[in-house]
Chains A and B, each alone.
Chain A
Amino acid sequence: MPDTRSVVRALYIYTFATLVEWPQEKRSGDFVIGVFGETAGVYSELNKKYSGKSIGSQEIVIKNYTTTKDISDSHILYVSPENSKHLKALMQTTIKENTLLVSEESGGLTKGAIVNFIVEGNQQKYEINKSNAKKHKLVIADKLSDLAARVVK
């Protein structure tokens, strides 16, 4: 069975990369997308389709982390549902790295995520916490906010 959910999430994560502005110091070198969770699913999909592609002049590198201490500097960090309990701690450690923290957890935005995947109706959607984005010095494009299921200012 094709893993359609992971395909959609990976597509969303890629479009987030194109619709978020990182601080100047993060606009050179590799563009790192980290996945904190198992290697199947979202990581596999990102690695297969987006590794080596680019965001602007930055080459996309996909990294997989299985423990919190492995997590290093990432532009985007997707935290899988089974690792959501680490969200609050990750918010603290990723704030200074201007990481776009993406979760998939009910109440993810209140635990520090900037973008949280939700299911609405039968579709995969996302919600945004602009306040958390501001703390990470990230600028969210209007289009990303406009098409979100919910925006927390």
Chain B
Amino acid sequence: MKLIRYISIFIVMLTASYSFAQSWTGQAYELYKAKDFESAKTAIDSAINSVERFDSQTWQLRGIIYRNISNGDQIYYREIALESFVHAKKIDSTGLYTAKINEYIRHTLVRYYNDAVTLLIEEGEFEKSEDSYNIYLREYRKLVDPGFNFTEKNINYYNAVGSEYLKKVEIVEPSKKNALREKAIEYSLKVLEFDSLDFKANFNIGIVYYNMGVDYVLTIDPTETTLEQLILNQKKSEEAFLKALPYLHRAEQLQPNNKAVQEALMGCYYGLNNNELYLKYQKLVDQHNIGTYLERHNTHPNDIENVRQLVRVYTQTLIDLEQAEKFKKILYTLENP
């Protein structure tokens, strides 16, 4: 998901109503140009307590100055910036600046969106990110366009949240994984409410359930488990694989030649002990991989695991008895040096 960065150029148009250079607004503008934002803020606050408060440009400049200092802990300055732009528009009786002010508002609001992305991807602050994203939606509707269609943005954002939860799953201890997976599913389902044919959301949900199915089996403590627990975990694993299937098949319909989808379907059917469908997807995956296996064998002829894969491929999926025999002999030699 991309950050949207706007660089706004503020050009203060001099009006003839007062001597600009001697005005608070003029001073604030000079200070702003000199990047002395704190002093510019003081000057522009003096301006709105003077006769200059009746000039839309004063409020526009105030918005721009406050927007520039609204970083980090001073994010509330962004609200002041927005209030200033709104006021600037209100007192712009001729409508001369309306388009420009709307741009300022849009560029200010997009910072909430950018914050949402940064908080999500760089800082892992999921709740703060969503708060910022919701402010962006709410204020955009209120201040810019009540009827704006956010579907595409929502899809991108919620998919990004789902993906970040999936990334986090990889780095937490096993007992915390499923809670994060549930969150990933929750956000991917939000995407599907907007577009049931979104590839990423379907794929992510399928992967989450597939991984859950695998973990129900892989995380069983080998020496502590009872027969009852083994049977129960197999049941849970089966349920998870079955839940994955409709999402993965939808992803497959959307991207029929996607290897990652085929691998996930292969894994599900393998876990479900469905040999016919497992081999169907294994074959598709092997068609993607065979070149890599052969190339690997050329560069690393002693890679025993790679040779095992070649034997498997030529005996089970891309059947070639001659090749199978060749690699079986190589495997035998490697296993019995």
Please report A residues at the B interface, Cβ cutoff 8 Å.
1-2, 4-5, 7-8, 10-12, 14-15, 19, 39-40, 49-50, 53, 119, 121-124, 143-144, 147
Selected interface stretch from B62-70, B182-190, B201-209, B227-235: B227-235
How distant is the Cα of A53 from the Cα of B235 in the complex, in angstroms? 27
A4 touches B214 (CB 8 A): yes
Contact between chains at B222 and A4 (CB < 8 Å): no
The answer to whether A39 and B335 touch across the interface, beta carbons within 8 angstroms, is yes
Total count of chain B residues near the partner, CB < 8 A: 29
Contact check, A11 vs B222: say whether CB atoms are below 8 A apart: yes
| A143-B223 in contact (CB<8A) | no
B327 in the interface, Cβ–Cβ < 8 Å? no
CB of B151 within 8 Å of the partner chain = no
Task: For the complex formed, measure the closest distance between the CB of A76 and the CB atoms of chain B, giving whole angstroms.
Answer: 15
Q: Is B198 close to A, CB under 8 A?
A: no
10 smallest beta-carbon distances between A and B, as pairs = A122-B272, A119-B273, A49-B222, A4-B271, A4-B217, A15-B227, A1-B267, A122-B238, A123-B234, A11-B230
B 225-262 to A, binary, CB cutoff 8 A, 1 in contact else 0: 11110110011011001100000000000000000000
* CA A40 to CA B266, docked complex, whole Å: 19
In the bound complex, what is the Cα–Cα distance between A39 and B308 (angstroms)? 10
Residues B234 and A143 in contact, CB atoms below 8 Å apart: no
Residues of A within 8 A of B223 (CB): 14, 50, 53
Interface bits B64-97 vs A (CB < 8 Å: 1, else 0): 0000000000000000000000000000000000
Choice from B222, B227, B235 contacting A123 with Cβ under 8 Å: B235
Q: Does residue B20 face the partner (Cβ distance < 8 Å to A)?
A: no
Q: In the bound complex, do residue A40 and residue B270 qualify as a contact, i.e. CB atoms below 8 Å apart?
A: no
Query: Could you say which residues of chain B place their CB within 8 Å of the CB of A123?
Result: 231, 234-235, 238, 273
Q: Which residue of B lies closest to A46 (CB)?
A: B222
For residue B319, CB closer than 8 A to chain A, the reply is no
Q: In the complex, what residues of A have CB within 8 A of residue B273's CB?
A: 5, 119, 122-124
Select B227's contact among A1, A2, A4, A144, beta carbons within 8 Å.
A144
Knowing A4-B214, A4-B271, A11-B225, the reply to whether A122 touches B242 (Cβ < 8 A) is: yes
Scan B285-329; emit 1 where CB is below 8 A from any A CB, else 0. Answer: 000000000000000000000001000000000000000000000
* B189: min CB distance to chain A, Å: 25
User: B274 interface residue, CB < 8 Å from A?
Assistant: yes
Docked complex Cα distance between A53 and B226 (Å): 16
| CB-based contact B218/A2 at 8 Å | yes
The answer to whether B139 has its CB under 8 Å from any CB of chain A is: no
Known contacts A14-B222, A15-B227, A53-B223; A2 and B238 CB within 8 A of each other: no
Interface residues of B in 259-286 (CB under 8 A from A): 263, 266-267, 270-274
Assembly CA distance A122 to B241 (angstroms): 10
Cross-interface CB contact of A4 among B218, B226, B274, B308, cutoff 8 Å: B218
Closest to A3 in B: B270
**Contact between A15 and B226, CB atoms less than 8 A apart:** yes
Are B218 and A7 interface neighbours, CB within 8 A?
Answer: yes
In the docked arrangement, what's the CA distance between A39 and B311, Å?
A: 14
Set B225, B263, B266, B335: member contacting A15, Cβ < 8 A: B225
Closest A residue to B228 using CB positions: A147
Query: Could you show 25 A-B contacts with beta carbons less than 8 Å apart?
Result: A1-B267, A2-B218, A2-B267, A4-B213, A4-B217, A4-B218, A5-B271, A7-B217, A7-B220, A8-B230, A11-B222, A11-B225, A12-B230, A39-B335, A49-B222, A50-B222, A50-B223, A53-B223, A121-B238, A122-B238, A122-B242, A123-B235, A123-B238, A147-B227, A147-B228
Smallest CB gap from B217: residue in A? A4
